[in-house]
Amino acid sequence: MKRLTLIILAACALIMLLAASDLPDWADPASPASSHLSPGFVEQAYEATHTPNVVTAVLADYRGYDTMFETVVVFLAALIIMIILRRTPHRRFCKILPHRPQRQGRDTVLKGAAQLIIPVMQVFALYVLGHGHYSPGGGFQGGVIFGASFILLALCYNLEFTINRFRERIVLLCCAGGALLYAGVGALCLAMGWNFLGYAALAGILGVSEAMARSHGILLVEVGVGITVMAVMVSIYYDLASGGDMREGL
Amino acid sequence: MDELFPFIIAKYNYWASLILLFIGLYGMIAKNNLMKKIIGMVIFQTAILLFYVSIGVKRGGTIPILEFGADHQPLLDATAYANPLPHVLMLTAIVVGVGTLGVALTILQKIQRVHGTIEEDEVLEDLRQ
């Protein structure tokens, strides 16, 4: 069976590798992927959105619907994981967990390092999120770094220690709140008489030009994406590390 | 051999991602352990990410963040920057990949809890009884 799979896949791979010779050359500036839509993005994005980082402008403005539903997909993943794994009855859903005595003196270096690294990580995550217009970064990256700081805390101390500081109830509120912030910005634009996620509608509220309003709109939805991604990372870790009962972790 | 080598070098980005893709597909089909199937799925996803990002590269192009000249005006030359579109698509795909990986690991934990094993044939045997 394994041999048969190997033969079939090798045949498929051979066909695809031969077909690869018809694909454009490596780093060819005139390749089809780089010659139709993308020059337009590079040349017009700054004038339209005042965002030097073209990736951010395309992500949150031109492809705003796509990013919004990606955020919803990530949010749904966190919900599904919780539904599948949850074992505790509903009533102790947000109860404060009893504090288990910490192991003392065995991992001083680990905890000291965590205390040093985690605040720096969180500030860096906010920088990556806020500076996404001008440098590589944005909501997804900043959110993942921020979520990783909580996971590092849970790994270096223990899961209960982290849950007592960042309750699951608040984590889930953040999950939903970020997606809601994104959709809310879109709905606000709709209420101002523009298209859904047409950030130029915010020019009147913010008192800036339309291109600058699009820049601010991108920042608002990136914050929404960052909050959702951060909370989803933490939620997935809580559920997977404890097998759904939120008591003992790794 | 002298002809084959330049043939591979000319398109080596596609060769690398296709070989990774088939390693992942083989893992998903042939392995019996469900955890290894998930690892195969992740390799498969990574191959597609590499494929898209390699499409976006332009010779002489820097990262798609506009550079400003001395007069504070951005340099708006499309050939000077890499193609931003594959980067956008893969940025969201990476995060959704983490979501699917989380759901896959969750289902794996549930299977382990119900059947006591993550070997595919043993799970099927358990289901038949």
Determine the pLDDT at residue A94: 46
Q: How far apart are CA A161 and CA A114, in angstroms?
A: 13
Confidence label for A186 from pLDDT (cuts 50, 70 and 90): very high
Contact yes or no for A28 and B66 at CB 8 A: no
Confidence label for A25 from pLDDT (cuts 50, 70 and 90): confident
Does residue A153 belong to any structural domain of this protein? Answer: yes
Determine the pLDDT at residue B108: 92
Contact yes or no for A84 and B110 at CB 8 A: yes
> What does pLDDT average to over chain A?
86
Determine the pLDDT at residue A104: 54
Confidence label for B8 from pLDDT (cuts 50, 70 and 90): confident
CB B85 within 8 A of CB A41: yes
Residue A68 phi/psi, 5-degree rounding, is: -60, -45
Positive or negative torsion for Cα B18, A136, A148, B102: negative
Does residue A98 belong to any structural domain of this protein? Answer: no
Specify the number of domains making up chain A: 1
Angle at A121 between CA A236 and CA A170, to 5 degrees: 40
Q: So what's the ipTM on this one?
A: 0.87
> What does pLDDT average to over chain B?
88
Nearest by CB to residue B84, choosing from A1, A6, A58, is: A58
Does residue B97 belong to any structural domain of this protein? Answer: yes
Q: How far apart are CA B25 and CA A224, in angstroms?
A: 35
Specify the number of domains making up chain B: 1
Q: Answer yes or no: is pLDDT of B89 > 50.
A: yes
What DSSP state is assigned to residue A74? Answer: H
Does residue A19 belong to any structural domain of this protein? Answer: no
A105 to chain B nearest CA, in Å?
33
Contact yes or no for A42 and B84 at CB 8 A: yes
Q: Which domain holds residue B27?
A: 4-66+79-128
Confidence label for A127 from pLDDT (cuts 50, 70 and 90): very high
Contact yes or no for B29 and A5 at CB 8 A: yes
Q: How far apart are CA B107 and CA A240, in angstroms?
A: 10
Determine the pLDDT at residue B62: 85
Widest CA span in chain B:
77
Interface test with A, best of B25, B73, B83 (most A CBs within 10 A): B83
- Within an 8 Å CB–CB cutoff, is residue B81 touching chain A? yes
Q: Answer yes or no: is pLDDT of B123 > 70.
A: yes
**What CATH number did the domain enclosing B121 receive?**
1.10.287.3510
Name the residue in chain B with its Cα closest to that of A79. B103
Q: Answer yes or no: is pLDDT of A167 > 80.
A: yes
Contact yes or no for B57 and A26 at CB 8 A: yes
Does residue A74 belong to any structural domain of this protein? Answer: yes
Q: Which domain holds residue A192?
A: 47-93+108-242
Secondary structure in 3-state letters for B23-58? HHHHHHHHCCEHHHHHHHHHHHHHHHHHHHHHHCCC
For A89-110, the pLDDT digits (tens) are 554 444 445 555 555 556 888 8
Contact yes or no for A70 and B60 at CB 8 A: no
- Within an 8 Å CB–CB cutoff, is residue B87 touching chain A? yes
Contact yes or no for B18 and A26 at CB 8 A: no
B98 to chain A nearest CA, in Å?
8
Determine whether B97 is exposed, middle or buried from the number of CB atoms within 10 Å of its CB (0-12, 13-18, 19+): middle
List, in sequence order, the alpha helices (H) in A60-102: 64-85
Q: How far apart are CA A237 and CA A146, in angstroms?
A: 13
Beta pairing partners, B119: B33
Does residue A249 belong to any structural domain of this protein? Answer: no
Closest-CA residue to A166 (of A224, A113, A96): A96
Determine the pLDDT at residue A182: 94
Does residue B72 belong to any structural domain of this protein? Answer: no
Determine the pLDDT at residue A95: 47
The structure tokens 């038949």 sit at B128
Does residue A39 belong to any structural domain of this protein? Answer: no
Determine the pLDDT at residue A93: 47
Determine the pLDDT at residue B104: 94
Does residue A35 belong to any structural domain of this protein? Answer: no
Does residue B73 belong to any structural domain of this protein? Answer: no
Q: How far apart are CA B43 and CA A211, in angstroms?
A: 41
Name the residue in chain B with its Cα closest to that of A82. B106
Q: Which of residues 30-69 of B touch A (CB under 8 A)?
A: 30, 54-61, 63-66, 68
Q: What is the Cα Rg of chain A in Å?
A: 23
Which residues in chain B have their CB less than 8 angstroms from residue A26's CB? Answer: 10-13, 54, 57
Under 8 Å CB-to-CB from B49, ≥6 apart: which residues? B90, B93, B94, B97
For A53-82, the pLDDT digits (tens) are 989 999 988 999 999 999 999 999 999 999
Which residues in chain A have their CB less than 8 angstroms from residue B48's CB? Answer: none
Determine which of A64-68, A227-231, B28-32, B55-59 has the lowest per-residue pLDDT on average: B55-59
B129 to chain A nearest CA, in Å?
24
Q: How far apart are CA A138 and CA A226, in angstroms?
A: 8
Residue A229 phi/psi, 5-degree rounding, is: -65, -40
What DSSP state is assigned to residue A94? Answer: S
Name the residue in chain A with its Cα closest to that of B101. A77
